[in-house]
Structures are given as C-alpha cells and as structure tokens.
Amino acid sequence: MVNLIYAAIASLDGYVEDEEGRFDWAAPDDEVHAFVNDLERPIGTYLYGRRMYETMVFWETVRTEADEPAVFWDYAEIWRTAEKIVYSRTLQTVSSARTRIEREFDRDAVQRLKQSSGADIAAGVRSLLPTQSARG
C-alpha cells in the first residue's frame, strides 16, 4: 500500500498564508526547492481543496519562456505528470490535465485509492484556519 502524505510549508505557528492569503513569504531557495522536488517526485496523485488547487494550477500554465532555475522547471514537470483530485462544491471546471472534481470528500474512496494506487498520494491545503492569518 502506498503512503498518504500531508506536507506543507508553514510558519512555526502552523500558518501557510499571511493575512492577505498569500504565501510568497515561504518561497524556497534553490536548495530547499530541490529537496522538496525529491520529496514530491514519488507522488502520483494530489488531493486538493479548491483554494489550493487554484494556487497550484500555476504549475500547469507557467510559460516556458520564464527565466527560472532548473529546480523550478523540475517541479513543474512533477506536478503536471501527477493526477489531481479537487474537492469542491463550487469549482465548475478545471484548467489542468489529469484533474477531476469531486463534490464531496469520501474517506472510503481515498482509502480505496490508497490501496489501488502504484504511487504515493499527497494531501494539500492552502489554509489551515481559513478565518485566521499568520499575523492575526
């Protein structure tokens, strides 16, 4: 059976975004980015809420002309090749390949996915506490 992994870049007090909903304060340097890439390389499926998906879909649409380091492009490829499941009651369409919307989170379906998958699964959230901020 594969691993179900929850990982997030967060402040020491557990926040992943600032009071404006941004998390650019946590942008990794190349060494940390390479480390994260190696951690995420075995991921075959990402489980997202709508807000995290809307943040991460950047990796689907980023233009190859952008002047970015190799670790940036490496992660873009890791993300693009993985399956994505977005749990949302409001999202109508997705704008990335290998992506589907589920209207309800079904723990049993995730357990079945875990049992049948050939690669690890990662769960990602953008906001741990949606009504609070990193400074609030």
Instruction: Give the domain ranges of the chain.
Output: 4-124
Rounded Cα distance, 117 and 7, in Å: 19
- How does pLDDT run across 48-92, given as a tens digit for each residue? 999 889 888 999 988 877 788 999 999 999 999 999 999 999 999
Q: What is the pLDDT of residue 127?
A: 43
Q: What tokens appear for 23 in the block? A: 């998390």
> In the block, which residue shows the tokens 């709508």?
50
Superfamily of domain 4-124: Dihydrofolate Reductase, subunit A (3.40.430.10)
Mean pLDDT of 109-115: 96
Torsion angle defined by CA atoms of residues 35, 64, 68 and 121, in that order, rounded to the nearest 10 degrees:
-20
Distance (Å) of CA 63 to CA 23, 28, 32, 36, 79: 21, 20, 22, 21, 14
Percent of the chain surpassing pLDDT 70: 91
Give which of 94, 92, 72, 91 is closest to 83, Cα–Cα: 94
pTM: 0.84
Alpha-carbon distance 22 to 16, whole Å?
8
**Cα 29 from chain centroid (whole Å):** 18
E strand or H helix that includes residue 116: helix 107-116
Are 134 and 18 a contacting pair, CB within 8 Å?
Answer: yes
Going by pLDDT thresholds of 50, 70 and 90, the confidence category of residue 126 is low
